[in-house]
Amino acid sequence: MIQDPVVVQIPEIPIPPGLPPWVVLPPEATVMVALGFFAACALVLFPLMRAFARRIEGRGQQTEAALKGEVEELRARL
């Protein structure tokens, strides 16, 4: 009886994944990315907050005029 030769398979060791970008980047580049992020936030949020503040102030002036008229009416009654 003739037997087939035995084939031994050795599994290939997987290569670990690469390092994340924040580990590979030099600290100066990380600081520049952080500063760029905060600058972009400031460029976007500053006009939005200014518009929001103007909107709040505009509503306050309308109610202030109505309140002044009511106060003058009450003074006239006295």
pLDDT of res. 3: 78
Residue 66: is its pLDDT beyond 90?
no
Yes or no: say if 30 and 22 are a contact pair by the CB < 8 Å rule.
yes
pLDDT of res. 4: 79
Report, as an integer, the average pLDDT of 42-47: 96
Long-range contacts of 9-15 (CB under 8 A, 24+ apart): none
Tell which wins on pLDDT, 57 or 21: 57
pLDDT of res. 62: 66
For the CA atoms of 20, 23, 29, 32, the dihedral, rounded to the nearest 10 degrees, stands at 80
- DSSP per-residue letters across 27-51: HHHHHHHHHHHHHHHHHHHHHHHHH
Q: Given pLDDT bands bounded at 50, 70 and 90, which one contains residue 23?
A: confident
Provide the sign of the torsion angle of the four alpha carbons 41, 42, 47, 53, taken in this order.
positive
